[in-house]
């Protein structure tokens, strides 16, 4: 599918194009709608597109200037200019920029459809006549046909175009070229390119993402960083900001030494901040959604770390957990596998159980039983993903004595059965 970017400061124009134009008929999909040229330029820095449909008159950078800047990053994309003005200077400038066409608003649905059809046909013709070797869908046979007689070849990445079969790439906002070479030279990353070529190529592209994210790649990467997390979780639920930030620093050191997949690291850090977030259950789910978006958008590990510290500190500035409730959370974390009750814990803390129950509800918006269930189900989720143990064994391991009740609680909190959860993940 060819990717389409719509740019217009009028929201209804973007919504109308999405609704009225059957992009799928031209093997196209609208991947983003930007309300300004600045937003559009920011988007393509990390998300290359094939077709740009833009208005001319927008606040700030106008559509023609935007196209001029975009051509430096996307020289082979197709540009369609829309405007409410049919003035010669606009048309002349658009033609000088070699845009696909200049259409006057209101846009004629048939005319635009015919234009998209011609663009799709042109793209398809170019692909058939000049497909690069280094692409995601290259088959093993295609690689062998080119490489089988070469004794030693390296798959490399560099800022400048060099070597053989060079193709441009953009990873985490960083641009450069992938190519084949016999000598490393001035490269960012290079690895022996051997059969099976498809998997070797896929591994290299993932490693390249890792390189740009961390600034380096560990010689022996190890993605099993989640095994370090359980003792950190015990510290998190105590609700002490300084201790949490210290644990975060330790986690950062571990990740930098092992440089796991970028997606794995982001998943781990999101889990970390979610567990901090759950200390303050009076907060709205939308707040967590925004935090996740901020973390996911990080293009480097430094950005991710800074974002983590900022979000965690902000959460604590909004609300500080009562010391007695923090103690309850710690005891739940340490003893959830056992038969424990609010009465038992209140006795340990020398607090009236009714008062403690009210305090827990006020601070966390959950009852003691709900907190205990959440802890047990969280532990069950980890066992479902990290082991091949039977669901019945996991049920008993996390503190439940009744498998049917375990299924009921799991489905209530996770929206699916333990078996379905394991299969989906």
Hey, what domains does the chain have and what are their CATH numbers? 2-129 (3.40.50.2300), 140-214 (no CATH), 225-321 (no CATH), 337-425 (1.10.10.60)
Q: How many CB atoms lie within 10 A of CB 152?
A: 9
- Tens of pLDDT along the chain (425 residues)? 899 999 999 989 999 999 999 999 999 999 999 999 999 999 999 999 999 999 988 889 988 899 989 988 898 899 998 877 665 456 656 556 667 777 877 888 898 999 999 999 888 877 655 578 898 889 999 899 888 878 789 999 999 989 989 999 998 888 999 999 988 888 999 999 998 999 999 999 989 999 999 988 775 555 467 777 777 877 787 777 888 899 999 999 989 888 888 888 998 899 899 888 887 766 677 778 889 999 999 999 999 999 999 999 888 877 666 778 878 888 888 888 999 999 999 998 899 999 999 988 887 778 999 989 988 998 898 788 778 899 999 999 999 999 999 999 999 988 889 998 888 76
Which residue spans within 40-108 are E strands per DSSP?
51-55, 78-83, 101-104
Three-state DSSP class for residue 215:
coil
Close Cβ partners of 128 (under 8 Å, ≥ 6 residues apart): none
Q: How many CB atoms lie within 10 A of CB 322?
A: 15
Cα–Cα dist 421/93, whole Å: 56
- Spatial contact of 331 and 360, defined as CB atoms under 8 Å apart: no
For 218: left if phi > 0, alpha if psi spans -120 to 50, otherwise beta; the answer is beta
- pTM (global) more than 0.85: no
φ/ψ (deg, to 5) at 145 = -60, -35
Close Cβ partners of 198 (under 8 Å, ≥ 6 residues apart): 138, 139, 140, 143
Tracing tokens 């033609």 back to the chain, one arrives at 95
């Amino acid at each position: 599918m060819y990717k389409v970017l719509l740019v217009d400061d009028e929201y209804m124009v973007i919504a109308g194009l999405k609704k009225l134009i059957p992009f799928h008929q031209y093997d196209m999909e609208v991947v983003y709608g930007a309300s300004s040229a600045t937003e559009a330029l920011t988007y393509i820095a990390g998300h290359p597109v094939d077709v740009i449909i833009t208005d001319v008159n927008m606040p700030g950078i106008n559509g023609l200037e935007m196209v001029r800047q975009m051509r430096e990053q996307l020289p082979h994309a197709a540009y369609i200019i829309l405007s409410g003005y049919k003035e010669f200077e606009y048309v002349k400038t658009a033609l000088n920029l070699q845009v696909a066409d200049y259409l006057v608003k209101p846009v004629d649905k048939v005319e635009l459809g015919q234009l998209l059809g011609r663009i799709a046909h042109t793209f398809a013709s170019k692909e058939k006549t000049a497909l690069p070797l280094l692409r995601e869908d290259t088959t093993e046979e295609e690689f062998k046909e080119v490489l089988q007689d070469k004794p030693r070849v390296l798959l490399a990445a560099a800022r400048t175009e060099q070597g053989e079969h060079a193709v441009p790439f953009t990873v985490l906002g960083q641009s450069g070229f992938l190519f084949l070479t016999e000598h490393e030279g001035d490269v960012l990353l290079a690895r022996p390119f051997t059969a099976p070529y498809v998997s070797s190529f896929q591994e290299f592209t993932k490693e390249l993402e890792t390189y740009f994210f961390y600034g380096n790649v560990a010689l022996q990467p190890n993605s099993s960083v989640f095994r370090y997390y359980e003792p950190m979780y015990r510290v998190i639920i105590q609700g002490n900001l300084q201790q949490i930030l210290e644990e975060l620093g330790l986690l950062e050191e571990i990740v930098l030494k092992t440089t796991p997949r970028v997606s794995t690291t982001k998943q781990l850090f999101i889990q970390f901040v979610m567990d901090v977030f759950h200390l303050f259950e009076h907060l709205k789910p939308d707040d967590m959604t925004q935090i996740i978006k901020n973390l996911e958008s990080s293009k480097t590990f430094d950005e991710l770390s800074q974002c983590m510290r900022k979000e965690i500190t902000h959460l604590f500035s909004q609300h500080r957990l009562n010391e007695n409730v923090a103690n309850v959370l710690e005891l739940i974390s340490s003893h959830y596998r056992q038969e424990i009750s609010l009465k038992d814990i209140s006795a340990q803390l020398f607090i009236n159980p009714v008062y403690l129950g009210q305090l827990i509800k006020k601070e966390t918006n959950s009852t003691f039983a709900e907190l205990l269930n959440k802890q047990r189900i969280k532990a069950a989720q980890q066992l479902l993903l990290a082991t091949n143990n039977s669901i019945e064994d996991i049920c008993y391991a996390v503190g439940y004595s009744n498998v049917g009740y375990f299924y009921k609680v799991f489905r209530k909190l996770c929206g699916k059965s333990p078996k379905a959860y394991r299969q989906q993940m």
